[in-house]
A and B are shown apart, each in its own frame.
Chain A
Amino acid sequence: MKLRERQWIIGAIFLLITFIYQGRLVQMQVFAPQWKAYASRLTEETETLESARGLIRDRHGEIIVNNKAGYDVWFTPRKCKTAGGLDTLALADLIEMTPESLIRAFKRAENYATYRPSRIQKQLITETYARISGEIWRFPGVEVRRRSIRTNPLGHASHLVGEFREVDQNDLESNLGYRLGDYKGKSGLELQWEATLRGKQGTRHHIVDIRNDYREPARSGMLDTLPEPGIDIQLTLDLDLQAYGERIMTNKRGAIVAIEPTTGEVLAMVSAPNYGTDLLTGRDRGSNYDSLINHPDKPLFNRTLRATYRPGSIFKMVQGLIAMDRGVLRPSQRIACDRSIIGCHGLHQFDNFEEAIVHSCNPYFHEVMKRMIQDGSTRSIFSDAHQNLGNWSKSVRKFGLGTDLGGHFPALRSGSVPDTADYDRMYGRKRWAYSTIYSISIGEGELLTTPMHMANLAAILANKGYYVTPHAVRGSAGIQRIETEISSRHYDAVIRAMSMVINTTDGTGTRAATPGIEVCGKTGTVQNPQGNHSVFIAFAPAENPKIALSVYMENAGAGGDWAAPIASLMIEKYLHREVTQSAKEQRIIEATYPFPDKAL
């Protein structure tokens, strides 16, 4: 029967389908790693366990930058949708958002991923969290996660510490293991010491369900790691001194840098005006940043490292030291104050070296430098200058000026010490002589330094000839002692003069006199069209100095008027731990930028 045979055809069709399916199964289950990988991508989720970030402490172990809890609000669109939505107005009120911004945040979350949580509000404070934690369950898909944030509310050393905030696109692409929403140091020490402070994040692998809820540990937790907390860093700053400096510099523009001369440890770095670091870590960072960056006093500008000023009269000490070392000057040598060459001030006429420092005599140092640059060794003054300036610059750089001071402050600007090549570029080769460039003899012209450089100069004078790489973190690598290669006996004359600046009645820095402490210092007044900057460098005590510092007050007038008394207060605060000169302190604290003309 013919039709009966058709059973074989039908049976064959059945078998054929089974064979096709069987082949497909073998292909899918045995030879398709990409599908397997896709499956684990879907079902496995890695949870990051935050490591506690290392704290930042001062030289005595006091905490400068601490961690505190911040509560972020996260939202998973799909969970909300499956639960039938939520009351937007009530939620907005609860988590301190406007309904409009909440709806915008919802849209962003929806666009990012419907089944993954997105952050819709950042850093609620603990008090807010306590208030809302009992309510939040009413809102499906909304959860609050704790994260650790930085706090330094008074902004101690805020410029030095730097910013700690959310990673940006560059960080995410940097291959350092940052994930969206992580925080990291973005500037200052927070950035420089990121690896130490950060610690190591832990991970926990989960099997998740379709709503991305954790259900069970993946692979029995064998891949999980515990977080390793970050390591605290100890600064060389003295928090008391730092805070005091910040207090007396309130409402002013300027900078104070204090260094322990024998170790190079920075004791205080004050850049005024200061700002509270918390302004830039909180959720109002955007608007706070705008108002700070647009503030006329430029509070974000780190004046201690970034502001370059001409050194002014203070540079005369360097000038004298180099000249004595070259043998063209003896301390007892008197030079006429010839004001036809260059202007001067005061009543002196024929000073020796020490008097010239005390009176800050301009013609004296014009002559001193002339002896080094225009020494008559060639027939042309142009050749003289061309030949000698190089050596002079090299000697100046030995004082750290124009260098990065060992590189412990990446933000530090090296300033400038002009060289033969610089003047060749400016005027043409051998088209300049000493008479062209003489303004650098009194620390003006092309010379530029920062408050850090000047504090370091004070340390060199205190050490009589060397400095130790200035640094702000204990245990920094690469600290070395750098010699100026100028005999220490030459320093004695300079130090005597610096003492006279303060301790003789006609000295320019008498306001730096401090009860019970012999202070050595030098005033500087840096020419500026908006009003001269008041500058002072000092170290104390004269014997066995413990602190060397530079003080800059922008547009405040003569160095002795404002910078000197501030130096005195700082020195007393550091050496005696308390300030007895209350009238001086009062005057400084009450002063407000801009200063009235001749406010004496």
Chain B
Amino acid sequence: MVIGLFNVASATAGANPVEWLDFNEKLGKQFLWVGVCLILAFLLLVIEGEFFIRTSVIHYVVNITLLIAVLGIGKRIGGAKSWFSFGSLGIQPSEFAKTGTSLMLAWMLSRSQDRFNQIGSLFKAVAIVSLPAILILLQPDAGTVLVFTGLILVFYREGLSGNVLIAVLCALLVTIATILSGASTFHYPGAGEAAGVWILWMILVCICGFLWATVPQWSVPRRRKQTRRSILLSFAAAIILSVGLQFGLEEVLRPHQKDRIHVLFGIDVGNPDADYNIRHAKAAISSGGITGKGFLKGPMTAYGFVPEQETDFIFCTIGEEWGLMGTSVTLFIFTLLLLRILSLAERQRSDFTRIYAYAVASILFMHYAINVGMVLGLAPVIGIPLPFISAGGSSLIGFTLLIFILLRLDAERFSVLR
């Protein structure tokens, strides 16, 4: 089934580029890459799974070295120094770093069985993820870094407290509230006009006081002090986050970056160019309607209205030419793939394979969620490819590695003793 998906997906990848090119330069390259990936997939399926487990560390080290090297001798494309170029072909080491990091994480976590009870193992795991993430951030390529944060799902599965997930969720809510209120103004009685974010802070303080006064009533008396302390701490954290964000938005970020964030939240930035990409992307998807305009018949994507339509905004092409049916099928296939990987993961006897599978699922999920969300105007405009569909050799090979290593490991699941 997964292989079937791969075929469908790569066929789409091969077919879609025709739509925006009269001449087949990029398209031809993409076919080449698909061929390379098929050979690679075959090779991966031949290699013993044990090989991957044993060479995890080497993979990781090689990847880190490449990431450092690319900072030195890489080619700068579109503001980020993330490419090695060989003639007309470009290689993006950050795409391979995902595989290396996943393997390393699986190797490390499968060896320490403490389920994050000790702070040391958590620290080690975070370090494994952070190192490539920081190197990629230096390129800078925020999108890929964001993908790495998805690995928190792996941590969660492997024993990280659920509170951390909830805390992350709360932090997200506070962030959204801060940005929305920060962009509006409010008339304060006696103080005049000011950013609405002050209200948010006041509300946070009030809720904190209220909870501080009421919640401990229901807890066991000897734990009241502790409850109070955690309420105070979490709200302090929230306010610090909020204040920090506001400061960052107003003082640290450059105006166009701030605009981008504001556009995402539907705030009018008064600059028509700021949401140019997203407006065109939305229009393209919307113009597809239910049935779409038909293969190769979408003017928005055919004639260059959607930026980066063969890579990051490829979902627009699907939307315009295949309509709601095409987009729904795409969503469906991705969700099926993700859930399938989860079920694969859970049937493993080997911890390594399970953890690796979760890492693969998390990474694919982040790509899917951010890429589609961005095109739909629900996530920030961050350039990351849609797995298997976007054009680009590095990402295609990267995902091939991720998936087929998993398939190979899965094929060997019965040879592992529980």
CA separation between A306 and B327, bound complex, in Å? 71
Of listed B156, B284, B287, B377, residue having the most chain A CB within 10 A: B287
* Structural contact, B157 and A25, CB atoms closer than 8 A: no
Query: Which residues of B lie under 8 Å from residue A36 when comparing CB positions?
Result: 283, 286-287, 289
* Structural contact, A10 and B158, CB atoms closer than 8 A: no
* Structural contact, A43 and B331, CB atoms closer than 8 A: no
Query: Which residues of A lie under 8 Å from residue B324 when comparing CB positions?
Result: 25-26, 29-30
B3 touches A (CB below 8 Å): no
* Structural contact, A29 and B285, CB atoms closer than 8 A: yes
Partner of B115, one of A3, A29, A30: A3
* Structural contact, A3 and B157, CB atoms closer than 8 A: yes
A7-B342, A29-B288 known; A14+B304 contact, CB < 8 A: no
A380 touches B (CB below 8 Å): no
Query: Which residues of B lie under 8 Å from residue A39 when comparing CB positions?
Result: 283-284, 286-287, 300
A3-B115, A14-B339 known; A42+B157 contact, CB < 8 A: no
* Structural contact, A14 and B299, CB atoms closer than 8 A: no
A28-B286, A38-B279 known; A10+B157 contact, CB < 8 A: yes
* Structural contact, A35 and B283, CB atoms closer than 8 A: yes
CA separation between A40 and B320, bound complex, in Å? 12
Partner of B286, one of A3, A4, A14, A35: A35
A20 touches B (CB below 8 Å): yes
B95 touches A (CB below 8 Å): no
A394 touches B (CB below 8 Å): no
* Structural contact, A38 and B156, CB atoms closer than 8 A: no
* Structural contact, A29 and B282, CB atoms closer than 8 A: no
CB distance from A310 to the nearest CB of B (A): 64
Partner of B304, one of A4, A9, A211: A211
* Structural contact, B115 and A18, CB atoms closer than 8 A: no
* Structural contact, A29 and B300, CB atoms closer than 8 A: no
A28-B376, A32-B286 known; A210+B335 contact, CB < 8 A: no
CB distance from B389 to the nearest CB of A (A): 15
* Structural contact, B331 and A208, CB atoms closer than 8 A: no
* Structural contact, B303 and A209, CB atoms closer than 8 A: yes
Query: Which residues of B lie under 8 Å from residue A9 when comparing CB positions?
Result: 156, 162
B: number of interface residues (CB 8 Å): 48
Q: Mark A5-38, 1 if CB is under 8 A from B, else 0.
A: 0110111011101101110111011101001101
B280 touches A (CB below 8 Å): yes
CA separation between A13 and B302, bound complex, in Å? 35
Query: Which residues of A lie under 8 Å from residue B62 when comparing CB positions?
Result: none
B338 touches A (CB below 8 Å): yes
* Structural contact, B157 and A29, CB atoms closer than 8 A: no
CA separation between A39 and B280, bound complex, in Å? 7
A11-B342, A22-B331 known; A3+B303 contact, CB < 8 A: no
* Structural contact, A38 and B290, CB atoms closer than 8 A: no
A345 touches B (CB below 8 Å): no
Partner of A4, one of B280, B303, B339, B346: B346
CA separation between A207 and B300, bound complex, in Å? 9
B373 touches A (CB below 8 Å): yes
Query: Which residues of A lie under 8 Å from residue B157 when comparing CB positions?
Result: 3, 6-7, 10
* Structural contact, B304 and A24, CB atoms closer than 8 A: no
Query: Which residues of A lie under 8 Å from residue B339 when comparing CB positions?
Result: 11, 14-15
Near A by CB (< 8 A), chain B positions 325-341 give 327-328, 331-332, 334-335, 338-339
CA separation between A14 and B332, bound complex, in Å? 11
A15-B335, A28-B376, A29-B327 known; A207+B290 contact, CB < 8 A: no
CA separation between A215 and B335, bound complex, in Å? 38
CA separation between A18 and B377, bound complex, in Å? 14
CB distance from B88 to the nearest CB of A (A): 21
Query: Which residues of A lie under 8 Å from residue B305 when comparing CB positions?
Result: 42-43, 209-210
Query: Which residues of A lie under 8 Å from residue B358 when comparing CB positions?
Result: 10
The A contact surface, by secondary structure, is helix
* Structural contact, B373 and A21, CB atoms closer than 8 A: yes
A6-B156, A21-B376, A25-B328 known; A210+B304 contact, CB < 8 A: yes
The B contact surface, by secondary structure, is helix
A35-B283, A36-B286, A210-B303 known; A20+B327 contact, CB < 8 A: no
A10-B342, A28-B376, A29-B285 known; A18+B153 contact, CB < 8 A: no
Partner of A38, one of B153, B283, B289: B283
A20-B378, A21-B331, A42-B280 known; A29+B323 contact, CB < 8 A: yes
A10-B342, A25-B328, A35-B287 known; A3+B335 contact, CB < 8 A: no
CA separation between A209 and B305, bound complex, in Å? 7
Near A by CB (< 8 A), chain B positions 77-135 give 115
A7-B345, A207-B299 known; A14+B283 contact, CB < 8 A: no
Q: Mark A201-235, 1 if CB is under 8 A from B, else 0.
A: 00000011111000100000000000000000000
Query: What residue of chain B has the Cβ atom nearest to residue A35's Cβ?
Result: B286
* Structural contact, B338 and A14, CB atoms closer than 8 A: yes
Query: Which residues of A lie under 8 Å from residue B289 when comparing CB positions?
Result: 29-30, 36
* Structural contact, B331 and A35, CB atoms closer than 8 A: no
Query: What residue of chain B has the Cβ atom nearest to residue A10's Cβ?
Result: B153
CB distance from A112 to the nearest CB of B (A): 14
Query: Which residues of A lie under 8 Å from residue B162 when comparing CB positions?
Result: 6, 9
CA separation between A431 and B103, bound complex, in Å? 117
Query: What residue of chain B has the Cβ atom nearest to residue A28's Cβ?
Result: B286
* Structural contact, B156 and A30, CB atoms closer than 8 A: no
* Structural contact, B282 and A28, CB atoms closer than 8 A: yes
Partner of A42, one of B159, B300, B365: B300
Partner of A43, one of B153, B158, B300, B376: B300
* Structural contact, B335 and A25, CB atoms closer than 8 A: no
Partner of B376, one of A4, A25, A42, A211: A25
Query: Which residues of A lie under 8 Å from residue B368 when comparing CB positions?
Result: 17
CA separation between A208 and B300, bound complex, in Å? 9
Q: Mark B199-228, 1 if CB is under 8 A from A, else 0.
A: 000000000000000000000000000000
Partner of B303, one of A11, A22, A25, A208: A208
Partner of A29, one of B156, B319, B361, B369: B319
CA separation between A86 and B373, bound complex, in Å? 41
Query: Which residues of A lie under 8 Å from residue B346 when comparing CB positions?
Result: 4, 7
Of listed A3, A17, A21, residue having the most chain B CB within 10 A: A21
Query: What residue of chain B has the Cβ atom nearest to residue A216's Cβ?
Result: B299
Query: What residue of chain B has the Cβ atom nearest to residue A15's Cβ?
Result: B335
B66 touches A (CB below 8 Å): no
CA separation between A207 and B304, bound complex, in Å? 12
Partner of A14, one of B279, B327, B365, B372: B365
Query: Which residues of B lie under 8 Å from residue A13 when comparing CB positions?
Result: 153, 365
* Structural contact, A215 and B303, CB atoms closer than 8 A: yes
Query: Which residues of B lie under 8 Å from residue A32 when comparing CB positions?
Result: 286
Query: Which residues of A lie under 8 Å from residue B327 when comparing CB positions?
Result: 25, 29
CB distance from A11 to the nearest CB of B (A): 5
Query: Which residues of A lie under 8 Å from residue B279 when comparing CB positions?
Result: 38
Q: Mark B333-369, 1 if CB is under 8 A from A, else 0.
A: 0110011001001100000000000100100010011
A30-B290, A39-B287 known; A21+B378 contact, CB < 8 A: yes
Query: Which residues of B lie under 8 Å from residue A210 when comparing CB positions?
Result: 303-305
CB distance from A536 to the nearest CB of B (A): 68
20 inter-chain pairs at a CB distance below 8 angstroms, sorted by A residue, are: A6-B156, A6-B157, A14-B339, A17-B373, A18-B332, A20-B378, A25-B376, A30-B289, A30-B290, A32-B286, A35-B282, A36-B287, A39-B284, A39-B286, A42-B280, A208-B303, A210-B304, A210-B305, A211-B304, A215-B302
Closest 4 CB pairs of A and B: A209-B303, A35-B286, A39-B287, A210-B304
Given pairs A6-B162, A42-B300, A215-B299, 8 additional interface contacts (CB within 8 A): A3-B115, A7-B345, A10-B361, A14-B361, A20-B378, A22-B331, A39-B284, A43-B305
Q: Give residues in A with beta carbon < 8 Å to B.
A: 3-4, 6-7, 9-11, 13-15, 17-18, 20-22, 24-26, 28-30, 32, 35-36, 38-40, 42-44, 207-211, 215
Q: Give residues in B with beta carbon < 8 Å to A.
A: 115, 153, 156-159, 162, 279-280, 282-290, 299-300, 302-305, 319, 323-324, 327-328, 331-332, 334-335, 338-339, 342, 345-346, 358, 361, 365, 368-369, 372-373, 376-378
